[in-house]
Amino acid sequence: MASSNRPLLSRLTIQLGLFMMSGREATQAVHWALQAGYRGFDTAQMYGNEREAGRAIASFLSSRQENRENLRREDIHYTTKLMENGTSYDSVRRSIKDSVEACGLGYVDLFLLHSPYGGKEARLTSWRALEDAVESGEVRMIGVSNFGVRHVEELMASNPRIKPVVNQFEVHPFHTQMPIRKVCKKYDITVEAYAPFARGLRLKHPAVVELANKYSCTTSQLLVKWAMQHNMVTLPKSTRRERMISNVDVGGLQISEQDMRAMDNLDEGFISAWYVSGPAGGSRLRWCEELTQRRNPTNAA
């Protein structure tokens, strides 16, 4: 099995999430984020903004005026995700190639299976297609998303040529996901914690507000730091420039062990991210509806 690429990932503990951004919003957000110091970006085939996100990165890198630090492609970490697992190796392979081409960055740093849906054969066939994309140089690292304990065990038991470096799933103090975090630790799989603000639905929680006051920070900063202190990559999303800057301004913040425990104890099993609202078209909408009905993908067959 190939070894994981931990040094690269650990440099990128905060990445900008691009979910629910239109192409235009993603173009603007990526530009502002690069100016603000973000170096990692998380998109997906499902988000419909791979092309714009990738092109915005490429355009920033090639602009002498904007790119004052002389950043190169390898300084950026670009993640995307396969929308649907499939039992047809060729169509999955084509879909991966389409994403690589759409972003215009030459290669994708991290490609994830977006969910475990589709059954075992589809999961393992899709994984094989990702492994081959690494071997052909289109993709640098591969991982999974929304995989539950059973799905990770199944993949590891299949003796993959390349082991997953990441499992990306919803984690915040209101859903701490200990069983799957433990399994990820067992296999040295980095956890990427998505929806760090529970999609904005817990930013005014009284306990979080109280702790934010204690540390003289914002509730969003507290939630970002909580994930970082648990050694998880965090993927805060905002389309607003001032929030993007402020959300990750956590350099001087250190949450005490006691307060970390108090935050862990806020767990209420709250799942925010599979309720997809707002504009989405065609098959994307059907896919979202299917996910919404099933509610928690980590339980998928």
Ligand X SMILES: NC(=O)c1ccc[n+]([C@@H]2O[C@H](COP(=O)([O-])OP(=O)(O)OC[C@H]3O[C@@H](n4cnc5c(N)ncnc54)[C@H](OP(=O)(O)O)[C@@H]3O)[C@@H](O)[C@H]2O)c1
Q: Which residues bind ligand X (CB under 6 A)?
A: 17-19, 42, 114, 145-146, 168, 194-200, 203, 220, 235-240, 243, 247, 273
User: Among this protein's residues, is 89 annotated catalytic?
Assistant: no
Nearer CB in complex with ligand X: 92/191: 191
User: Rg of the chain's alpha carbons, rounded to an integer?
Assistant: 18
Nearer CB in complex with ligand X: 119/200: 200
Nearer CB in complex with ligand X: 21/134: 21
Of the candidates 38, 78, 114, 194, the residue annotated as catalytic is 114
Minimum CB separation from ligand X for residue 244, in Å? 8
Minimum CB separation from ligand X for residue 65, in Å? 27
Strand duo 40-42 + 233-234: pairing: unpaired
Nearer CB in complex with ligand X: 17/54: 17
Of the candidates 38, 47, 117, 194, the residue annotated as catalytic is 47
User: Among this protein's residues, is 230 annotated catalytic?
Assistant: no
Does the CA dihedral 132-138-140-141 come out positive or negative?
Answer: negative
CA 103 to each of CA 16, 37, 94, 239: distance values in angstroms, whole numbers, following the listed order: 16, 20, 15, 20
**DSSP-derived 3-state class of residue 80:** strand
Q: Find how far residue 199's CA is from the centre of its chain.
A: 13
Minimum CB separation from ligand X for residue 107, in Å? 19
Residue 180 neighbours by CB under 8 Å, 6+ apart? 147, 148, 149, 152, 167, 169, 298
Give the residue nearest to ligand X (CB): 17
Minimum CB separation from ligand X for residue 200, in Å? 3
Convert 105-141 to b/e letters by CB count within 10 Å (16 or more is b): bebbbbbbbbbbbbebebbbbbbbbbbbbbeeebbbb
**DSSP-derived 3-state class of residue 105:** coil
Question: Which of the residues are catalytic?
Answer: 47, 114
